[in-house]
A and B are shown apart, each in its own frame.
Chain A
Amino acid sequence: MDLIAFKMLVGNKAKYYGLIFGVMFSTFLMAQQVSLFLGLMVRTCSTIGLVQEASIWVMDPSVRYFDEIKPLPDIDLYRVRGVEGVKWAVPFYKGTAVLKSGSVFQLVTVFGLDDTSLIGLPSQMVLGQAESIRAPNSLIMDEGGWKYIWPTDPFEINRSVEMNDHFVRIVGICDIPPSYASLPQVYTRYSEAVKLTPQGAHTLSYVLVDHEPGTDPAVVAQRIREKAGLLALTSNAFEWRTIWYFIEKTGIPINFGITVLLGFIVGAAIVGQTFYIFILENLMQFAALKAIGVSKGQILKMVLIQGALVGSMGYGLGMGLTALFFLVTKDLVALKGFTLYAPVMVGVGVCVGLIILGASFFSIRRVLVLDPAEVFRGP
């Protein structure tokens, strides 16, 4: 009877493809939107993870997320260095400047790294050497930034640009994840960075810290908070603080949530309705099966097999489509680093399962309460 259930559904091409399409559409919409959302959330704190040498980030206590800069007085660097358990502490600068080159006027994010240690220097280079920023008036730019500013120019070393009335050279192109702000990103030394950007009284954005071996970074961070009166977070905690800020304080999760919900509802509507109509059209046939002596359990199994069939086909195709989407767009700057995460696949699978179960449940009820005597009553 299982094979009969399969053939019964597959034989109805229009319904079968309609159902698969519905599940596929809904799978794609949910998986793709959730992935984009997660990708975006990862972007909000991508720079934090990039600075692998530092285990603790120290900042003004009012900072809520990575991009929110509240400069500290330089003295704070020395106060942090004095805290027990701190192996080293270096300054980290983050600001924005206008880059001018010919007719180009482009706002860029400027990172300034400790002049001697260059803590936070990108490790993946597309062109040139990252260490070249030790030379005066030098910076490296991210690949996506270059493509954004000069879409048709091939990468080149030593291109001269003007920032804040200073002339600087681009001495390398690095490969880093795009930032949430989607601005081109440049790295230079701390002392250069403060010259390239318009300044207020203080310039120290963050103090980067590593803990002494044998100490717990969370404990050291706590000590910095107590001793220096600053906010000190482990890299991981700072990433989550940033992500939670975006989740709680912006409309982004709601926007994505609505689309995902829509995917779920539209999918459920298409699948539920089509499946229900399919069952309804075959109601007399199901009544005949009941009269002939097919048990309720067998009929239940038949309907569930039919549901599972369209569910798995549609889910597979939808996931394939999502994977294809991220494959095709992986070289686009706008979507760089976005990917289909395994938990998303599982979560969407659960949603599809719910849709199928719901659709089957409503349809099965009609079949199970059906009086087999109906079969004699004609069409």
Chain B
Amino acid sequence: MTVALETSHIDQDFLSGDGSILHVLRDINLKIHSGRITMIVGPSGCGKTTLLSILSGILTPTRGSVCIFGKDISHLTDGEKVTFRRQNVGFMFQSYNLIQTLSAAENVAIPLLANGIAYNQALKEAYALLDQLGLEGKGGKFPLKLSGGEQQRVAIARALVHHPKILVCDEPTAALDAAAGQTIMGILTKAALDKDRVVIVVTHDNRIFHFAHTIVTMSDGRILSTEAMQKEP
């Protein structure tokens, strides 16, 4: 169990509509281990998504630094951040954001294609991963022909296909019913857990808290507590 991701004194300010400054994140100091599921929880508007954007190299914090596997990403240029994300980060979004006019497998293949892997090879790997995630024979289907749970499984495959060191998931179960949410989290934790991978899940959904190894609780832009759960991976 190693600390793979560390933040020190992160602040994030936004300019609000009326010109005043919003302090959305204040003095965030986090140590996140690889090989475990870390959940970030807290009330709506407390800054979970903003923190996730920073941890995944999308947003540069106003102050403070983020170190991932020994690399400080808070001072990368925009272009370097794009490359960093392409090579190291897998994303799952609440609203899936699959491209409707591409087949499931083509959607999954996108991170590989973006990394310059040839179309046929990328598609082969995409199909193989979809099979592993229980979507045998569905790689050729278009997202709208799949159920919400199936679409989220496609999204899991897209997030993992390029073997990222970090997986970030924003509200992965918010659009699903309770049973489907449990199934998806089961699949996600099984597929994503790796001793060298950081898995961060932002959620409201207390029915999935039991999948976590660590729970980070936020309130109003600050971290209230970091709690290690009893179970071990």
Binding site for B on A (CB under 8 A): 1, 3-4, 7-12, 282, 284-285, 287-296, 298, 372-373, 375-379
Q: State the Cβ distance, A351 to closest chain B Cβ, in Å.
A: 29
| Residues of A with C-beta under 8 A to B158 | 292
The reply to whether A7 and B106 form a contact with Cβ atoms under 8 Å apart is yes
Kindly supply a per-residue 1/0 record for chain B positions 79-118, scoring 1 wherever the CB is within 8 Å of any chain A CB and 0 otherwise. Answer: 1001111110101011101111110001000110110000
Q: For the complex, what is the distance from the CA of A298 to the CA of B102, rounded to whole Å? A: 17
Interface pairs A-B: 10 shortest CB-CB: A11-B101, A293-B86, A288-B97, A293-B85, A373-B53, A285-B99, A376-B49, A294-B114, A379-B95, A376-B170
| A9 partner, pick from B94, B101, B106, B114, beta carbons under 8 A | B101
The reply to whether A287 and B97 form a contact with Cβ atoms under 8 Å apart is yes
Q: State the Cβ distance, A376 to closest chain B Cβ, in Å.
A: 5
Q: For the complex, what is the distance from the CA of A298 to the CA of B95, rounded to whole Å? A: 24
| A376 partner, pick from B85, B94, B98, B114, beta carbons under 8 A | B94
Q: For the complex, what is the distance from the CA of A1 to the CA of B53, rounded to whole Å? A: 24
| B176 sits at the interface (CB 8 A) | no
The reply to whether B100 and A11 form a contact with Cβ atoms under 8 Å apart is yes
- What bracket does the count of chain B residues touching chain A fall in? 20 to 34
- Near A by CB (< 8 A), chain B positions 61-95 give 79, 82-87, 89, 91, 93-95
Q: State the Cβ distance, A332 to closest chain B Cβ, in Å.
A: 44
Kindly supply a per-residue 1/0 record for chain B positions 27-69, scoring 1 wherever the CB is within 8 Å of any chain A CB and 0 otherwise. Answer: 0000000000000000000000100110010110000000000
Q: For the complex, what is the distance from the CA of A285 to the CA of B158, rounded to whole Å? A: 13
Q: For the complex, what is the distance from the CA of A294 to the CA of B112, rounded to whole Å? A: 10
The reply to whether A3 and B101 form a contact with Cβ atoms under 8 Å apart is no
The reply to whether B110 and A375 form a contact with Cβ atoms under 8 Å apart is no
Q: For the complex, what is the distance from the CA of A160 to the CA of B58, rounded to whole Å? A: 91
Q: For the complex, what is the distance from the CA of A296 to the CA of B101, rounded to whole Å? A: 21
Q: For the complex, what is the distance from the CA of A282 to the CA of B101, rounded to whole Å? A: 10
| Residues of B with C-beta under 8 A to A296 | 82
In this complex, what residue of A is CB-closest to B202? A376
In this complex, what residue of B is CB-closest to A278? B101
| Residues of B with C-beta under 8 A to A284 | 95, 97
| B83 partner, pick from A11, A291, A293, beta carbons under 8 A | A293
| A288 and B101 in contact, given A1-B113, A7-B106, A293-B82 (Cβ under 8 angstroms) | no
| Residues of B with C-beta under 8 A to A9 | 101
Q: State the Cβ distance, A296 to closest chain B Cβ, in Å.
A: 8
Q: State the Cβ distance, B161 to closest chain A Cβ, in Å.
A: 11
Q: State the Cβ distance, B117 to closest chain A Cβ, in Å.
A: 11
| Residues of B with C-beta under 8 A to A288 | 91, 93, 97
Q: For the complex, what is the distance from the CA of A13 to the CA of B108, rounded to whole Å? A: 22
| A291 and B58 in contact, given A282-B99, A285-B99, A376-B94 (Cβ under 8 angstroms) | yes
The reply to whether A1 and B91 form a contact with Cβ atoms under 8 Å apart is no
Q: For the complex, what is the distance from the CA of A298 to the CA of B114, rounded to whole Å? A: 8
Q: For the complex, what is the distance from the CA of A10 to the CA of B100, rounded to whole Å? A: 11
The reply to whether A12 and B101 form a contact with Cβ atoms under 8 Å apart is yes
The reply to whether A376 and B113 form a contact with Cβ atoms under 8 Å apart is no
Q: State the Cβ distance, A9 to closest chain B Cβ, in Å.
A: 7
Q: For the complex, what is the distance from the CA of A96 to the CA of B98, rounded to whole Å? A: 74
Binding site for A on B (CB under 8 A): 49, 52-53, 56, 58-59, 79, 82-87, 89, 91, 93-95, 97-102, 106, 110-111, 113-114, 119, 142, 158, 170
Q: For the complex, what is the distance from the CA of A209 to the CA of B195, rounded to whole Å? A: 98
Q: State the Cβ distance, A16 to closest chain B Cβ, in Å.
A: 9
| Residues of A with C-beta under 8 A to B170 | 376
| Residues of B with C-beta under 8 A to A293 | 82-87, 89, 111, 114
Q: For the complex, what is the distance from the CA of A11 to the CA of B142, rounded to whole Å? A: 10
Q: State the Cβ distance, B176 to closest chain A Cβ, in Å.
A: 14
The reply to whether A4 and B110 form a contact with Cβ atoms under 8 Å apart is yes
| Residues of B with C-beta under 8 A to A292 | 85-86, 89, 91, 110-111, 114, 158
A-B contact sample (18 more), CB < 8 A, given A9-B101, A372-B58, A376-B93: A1-B114, A4-B102, A7-B106, A11-B142, A285-B98, A288-B91, A289-B114, A291-B58, A291-B85, A291-B91, A292-B85, A292-B86, A292-B89, A292-B111, A373-B53, A373-B58, A375-B93, A375-B97
| Residues of A with C-beta under 8 A to B99 | 4, 8, 282, 285
The reply to whether A376 and B110 form a contact with Cβ atoms under 8 Å apart is no
| Residues of A with C-beta under 8 A to B85 | 291-293
The reply to whether B86 and A378 form a contact with Cβ atoms under 8 Å apart is no
| Residues of A with C-beta under 8 A to B56 | 291
The reply to whether A8 and B101 form a contact with Cβ atoms under 8 Å apart is yes
Q: For the complex, what is the distance from the CA of A379 to the CA of B142, rounded to whole Å? A: 19
Q: For the complex, what is the distance from the CA of A89 to the CA of B58, rounded to whole Å? A: 85
Q: For the complex, what is the distance from the CA of A327 to the CA of B87, rounded to whole Å? A: 56
The reply to whether A11 and B91 form a contact with Cβ atoms under 8 Å apart is no
With most chain B CB atoms within 10 A of its CB, the pick from A289, A291, A375 is A291
Q: State the Cβ distance, B170 to closest chain A Cβ, in Å.
A: 5
| A295 and B82 in contact, given A9-B101, A376-B93, A378-B95 (Cβ under 8 angstroms) | yes
In this complex, what residue of B is CB-closest to A296? B82
Q: State the Cβ distance, B139 to closest chain A Cβ, in Å.
A: 14
With most chain A CB atoms within 10 A of its CB, the pick from B82, B84, B113 is B82
Q: For the complex, what is the distance from the CA of A285 to the CA of B170, rounded to whole Å? A: 16
The reply to whether B113 and A4 form a contact with Cβ atoms under 8 Å apart is yes
